[in-house]
Amino acid sequence: MVRELTHFIDGQHVSGTSGVFGEVFDPNTGQVQARVPLASADEIEAAIANAAAAQPVWAAFNPQKRARVMMKFLTLVNEEIDSLAALLSAEHGKTIADAKGDIQRGLEVIEFAVGIPHLLKGEYTESAGTGIDVYSMRQPLGVVAGITPFNFPAMIPLWKAGPALACGNAFVLKPSERDPSVPLRLAELFLEAGLPPGVFNVVNGGKEAVDTILRDDRIKAVGFVGSTPIAQYIYETATANGKRAQCFGGAKNHAIVMPDADLDDVADQLIGAGYGSAGERCMAISVAVPVGQETADRLVAKLTERVHKLNVGRSDDPGADFGPLVGRDGVDRVNSYVQIGVDEGAELVVDGRGLVVEGAEDGYFVGASLFDNVTPDMRIYQEEIFGPVVTVVRAGDYEQALRLADEHEYGNGVAIFTRDGDIARDFATRVQVGMVGINVPIPVPIAYYTFGGWKRSGFGDLNQHGPDSIRFYTKTKTVTQRWPAAPAKTNAFVIPTMD
């Protein structure tokens, strides 16, 4: 039976009125499992108006009360993490274990946001001048919005909404129409946790919905994660309309493998980092850069052995290493890139095309592919494939490997595997990439540090979660005060100083 989904506005489910719907597919079978309404401009504007009306009530909660709502939300989500993970897996296609990781990484940012009473503390200077004190305070922006991708339907909405709500803002979420059920359930749980109705609204939609958010003056800030062309479009449009924007795009994450690295450990790490979640991660390692021919030959042999042992199956199969892609278009895209790599002259060591999972023949499955002898002029190196494809680019020495990461147009994440502390320190200092792992394959920072890429992987001055998120979702007000015992004897026509 096909489920009928809704929007979530003013604390209740609201049927769409546009008459336009998207289809939510089961990646395991290729069958439609739900219809999702795509909001018109009028529907989006109504949701924004509702958020604007509700925000002052929420902002009036003191920070400790807002923190208690966050704590209650954590409890509620943890109580039903199994059902949430099953729902996420059924719409996205990642395994149940991976779906739980998606939710958990989102909750870690909520845990960070629980510290909002401390995070919002301003500064104070007594007697900055004679009888003059100066202090600052952080105040919410008002209504803010998040436009989030299909590949992390729990984590990224929580990365955006958690700090925004904790700071006292109202939040309008436009999730991916491919897998919207978990964001809708999270909205229900926020309400149950004590968030006032209307403070967290979920509206589904396409480009019309996005453009309405970007144009509406009541939206003060926009956060986005997706492809680089769309990230750049949203950043430029939002800022042209006077909004703050943090927009994160594509990636081509490198793993530099030095000759002294433990290659068995490296191969195990790269298998998970490159093929986990079918490669549908912006932090997936898609480029391995072994330094030296011997290192490369040994690493490719170890990767090949492990790739052949990977088990690709239904997302609800506990024995599957990864499940299907989210849509048929993803399968077509990955297959196309594998053929491009072959045509460009790369060595296709393992071909994942044509995989059929027994009992799920119509699902969106594609096996793991591995390329060797890839060169920087090839499209499979330059472009984000966003699927289970790992490319090996051989480097003659450390400096060449470093240049590969430095000169790529994307600068999201990078890793180096080595036992040499001097090399590791030099690499971390010099590499022109926003997030660096040293013997860590997916260097996603913990929640109280900031997440963000450089170059064409990120647009905007402030990143996701950590202290940057508090700065992004608040505005600073500075107060200079004087309580004179007698009238001031100053020249009103001279700029004040703190003598």
Report the catalytic residues: 282
Cβ(282)–Cβ(412) below 8 Å? yes
DSSP 276: G
Q: Distance between CA 147 and CA 291 in Å, rounded?
A: 39
Cβ(442)–Cβ(271) below 8 Å? no
Inter-CA distances, 288 with 47, 188, 211, 296, 401, Å: 45, 42, 38, 9, 10
Report the length, in residues, of the chain. 499
Task: For residue 206, give the H/E element and its range.
Answer: none
Q: Distance between CA 59 and CA 167 in Å, rounded?
A: 8
Map tokens 């002029």 to a residue. Answer: 377
Q: Distance between CA 445 and CA 119 in Å, rounded?
A: 18
Q: Distance between CA 196 and CA 261 in Å, rounded?
A: 53
Q: Distance between CA 47 and CA 31 in Å, rounded?
A: 31
Inter-CA distances, 350 with 19, 188, 287, 310, Å: 46, 45, 15, 12
Residues 6+ positions from 18 with CB-CB distance below 8 Å:
37, 38, 39, 40, 43
CA Rg value for the chain:
25
